[in-house]
């Protein structure tokens, strides 16, 4: 039996004024798939992801989501006056989680447990991004949409992220990851290259 | 219902924590208000002036020094309240958007902001009234407090609205400072002795300024005059709600979700998007008693 579809984007168009960003983008993500979205700066990768998660409306086309999801935006969206623990508490309420065990496990995996009482405004850029990523993963959703989630990570944490991504895929989670890095391409099952407002699917070495 | 109270309680506690961590605002409360009142008391001319309060229909004769102290107190508390509410709203707005998309109830998030404004109003009002009372015995301290509270609510609401509307911190700070500067200047019997210009009554401090001045020096009932600032509070709060809802809208919020790989039994289809051409669909198996967890 074919794996279940988690996300389907069909013939999506998006323009900002006269500037066309997406022109008939098609994109399907199945269970247990790690999909990469690549492209030059300003090619529309973040726009595509924001449309995929429902933060932005397409001008034309359809977006179908078949599961709950977690979204990690490109820029860290955190409140500088609140600590790491306070962020987790807020999102625990938002996601209606009975406890924060999984969230603290992620904090341990990403290696910023020592900063749990530090305000986001005082965290380093990399640690802010770790918090940003944790907020997207902490409810363990079947579909993850991650927009350059490892910006500012040191090499060890970068490696740990890909280990975590591999574990999630093996558990049947679906991941969509925007990446700029050539050496990340080996991790992807499919690569979608956004070029001239169109999405081209490319072969992978996996 | 329990979850809604939890959502309100957590948002209220953390919003209040954010205010307490606004060091500039805390320093302004601790030093700026008493210093300003003290400096006016020490330097302003101490001769009697007579001014007319049009809403109460009375003439008030009072010391110019004390009159300026009341105006300065009004200016200080409105600047601080406007600044605090602007900063708290502005710095949290992207996070609020993310929280709402993740399933946090909008109403509770907004109610927490307004509830913290009420707490700030109570504390600032009490503090400032005590400072004025220490300067000289106010004729009606409770009525002066009511006027200060109304002024704080009006500018606090303005701060929340500006926090959702403006793009930069500096813009918000200037809006609050300039608005209060003009308003206090126009309402002060010292800087604007005539006080009879058209449109003056539409400004937020028209009622509170006249109420505070009359209550500080006379026995005239002033509560009805002070509450003239409340429509400003209501209007700015409603605007804030509308802007917040517009900013946190969903284009295809999940109302039915499949959380495992089993084949979805139900299919839900809903039109969405600002433009008619955009249609977003959601399909899946209904999950009972579980809210959408989109992001």
Q: What is the ipTM of this complex?
A: 0.91
- Could you list the mean pLDDT of each consecutive 10-residue stretch along chain A, which spans 206 residues? 85 92 91 92 90 90 91 92 96 96 95 94 94 96 93 90 94 92 82 90 71
Domain end marker among A95, A114, A140: A140
Residues B85-111 pLDDT 10s: 999 999 999 999 899 989 899 999 999
> Are both A48 and A150 inside the same structural domain?
yes
- Tell me which chain A residues have a C-beta less than 8 angstroms from the C-beta of B97: 77
Rg over alpha carbons for chain A, rounded to the nearest Å, is 17
pLDDT of residue B271: 32
The secondary structure of A50-72, three-state, reads HHHHCCCCCCEEEEEECCCEEEE
> Are both A57 and A16 inside the same structural domain?
yes
- Tell me which chain B residues have a C-beta less than 8 angstroms from the C-beta of A172: 261
Domain end marker among A108, A140, A172: A140
**B277 falls in which pLDDT band (50, 70, 90)?**
very low
User: Rounded CA gap, A164 and B191, in Å?
Assistant: 66
- CB nearest to A69's CB, from B261, B283, B295: B295
> Are both A102 and A199 inside the same structural domain?
no
What is the domain extent for residue A190? Answer: 1-68+143-206
pLDDT of B202 above 50: yes
Collapsed DSSP state (helix, strand, coil) of residue B99:
helix
pLDDT of B274 above 50: no
> Are both A64 and A1 inside the same structural domain?
yes
> Are both A123 and A167 inside the same structural domain?
no
Could you tell me which chain A residue has the CA closest to the CA of B290? A96
Domain end marker among A140, A163, A197: A140
Residues B212-252 pLDDT 10s: 999 999 999 999 999 999 999 999 999 999 999 888 876 65
Q: How many structural domains are present in chain A? A: 2
Residues B62-74 pLDDT 10s: 999 999 999 999 9
The C-alpha torsion from A116 through A118 and A121 to A125, rounded to 10°, is: -60
pLDDT of residue B192: 86
Question: Are the Cβ atoms of B11 and A73 closer than 8 angstroms?
Answer: no
Average pLDDT over residues B14-21: 94
Could you tell me which chain A residue has the CA closest to the CA of B18? A81
Q: What is the pTM of this model?
A: 0.85
Residues B97-152 pLDDT 10s: 899 989 899 999 999 999 999 999 999 999 999 999 999 999 999 999 999 999 99
User: Rounded CA gap, B126 and B120, in Å?
Assistant: 10
- Domain CATH for A156: 3.40.50.300
Question: Are the Cβ atoms of B14 and A90 closer than 8 angstroms?
Answer: yes
Name the minimum distance, in Å, from the CA of B160 to any CA of chain A: 16
> Are both A131 and A30 inside the same structural domain?
no
User: Rounded CA gap, B32 and B75, in Å?
Assistant: 11
C-alpha distances in Å from residue A22, one per residue of A180, A201, A203, B242: 19, 15, 21, 30
Question: Are the Cβ atoms of A86 and B14 closer than 8 angstroms?
Answer: yes
């Amino acid at each position: 039996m074919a794996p279940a579809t988690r996300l389907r984007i069909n013939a999506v168009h998006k323009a900002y004024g006269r500037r066309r960003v997406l022109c008939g983008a098609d994109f399907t993500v199945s269970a247990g798939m790690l999909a990469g979205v690549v492209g030059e700066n300003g090619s529309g990768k973040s726009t595509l992801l924001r449309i995929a998660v429902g933060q932005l409306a397409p001008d034309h086309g359809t977006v179908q989501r078949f599961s709950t999801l977690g979204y990690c935006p490109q820029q860290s969206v955190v409140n500088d006056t609140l600590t790491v623990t306070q962020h987790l508490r807020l999102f625990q309420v938002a996601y209606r989680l009975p406890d924060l065990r999984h969230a603290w496990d992620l904090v341990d995996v990403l290696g910023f447990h020592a900063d749990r009482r530090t305000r986001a405004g005082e965290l380093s850029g990399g640690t802010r991004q770790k918090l940003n990523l944790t907020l997207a993963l902490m409810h363990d959703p079947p579909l993850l949409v991650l927009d350059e989630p490892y910006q500012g990570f040191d090499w060890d944490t970068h490696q740990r992220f890909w280990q975590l991504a591999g574990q999630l895929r093996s558990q049947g989670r679906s991941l969509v990851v925007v990446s700029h890095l050539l050496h990340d391409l080996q991790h992807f099952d499919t690569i979608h290259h956004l070029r001239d407002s169109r999405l081209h699917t490319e072969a992978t070495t996996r | 219902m329990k979850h809604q109270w939890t959502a309100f309680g957590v948002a209220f506690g953390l919003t209040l924590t954010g205010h307490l961590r606004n060091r500039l605002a805390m320093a302004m409360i601790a030093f700026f208000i008493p210093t300003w009142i003290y400096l006016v008391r020490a330097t302003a001319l101490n001769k009697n002036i007579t001014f007319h309060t049009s809403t109460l229909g009375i003439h008030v004769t009072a010391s110019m020094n004390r009159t300026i102290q009341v105006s300065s107190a009004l200016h200080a508390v409105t600047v601080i309240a406007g600044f605090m509410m602007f900063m708290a709203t502005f710095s949290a707005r992207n996070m609020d958007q993310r929280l709402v998309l993740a399933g946090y109830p909008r109403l509770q998030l907004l109610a927490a902001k307004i509830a913290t404004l009420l707490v700030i109003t109570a504390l600032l009002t009490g503090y400032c009234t005590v400072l004025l009372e220490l300067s000289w015995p106010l004729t009606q301290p409770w009525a002066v407090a009511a006027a200060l509270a109304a002024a704080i609510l009006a500018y606090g609401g303005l701060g929340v609205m500006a926090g959702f509307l403006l793009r930069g911190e500096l813009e918000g700070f200037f809006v609050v400072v300039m608005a209060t500067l003009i308003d206090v200047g126009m309402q002060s019997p010292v800087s604007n002795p005539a006080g009879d210009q058209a449109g003056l009554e539409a400004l937020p401090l028209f009622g509170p300024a006249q109420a505070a001045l009359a209550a500080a020096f006379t026995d005239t009932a002033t509560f009805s005059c002070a509450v003239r600032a409340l429509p400003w509070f209501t209007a700015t709060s409603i605007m804030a709600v509308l802007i917040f809802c517009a900013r946190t809208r969903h284009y295809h919020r999940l109302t039915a979700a499949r959380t495992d790989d089993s084949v979805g039994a139900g299919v839900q289809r809903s039109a969405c998007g600002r433009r008619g051409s955009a249609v977003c669909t959601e399909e899946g198996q209904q999950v009972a008693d579980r809210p959408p967890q989109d992001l």
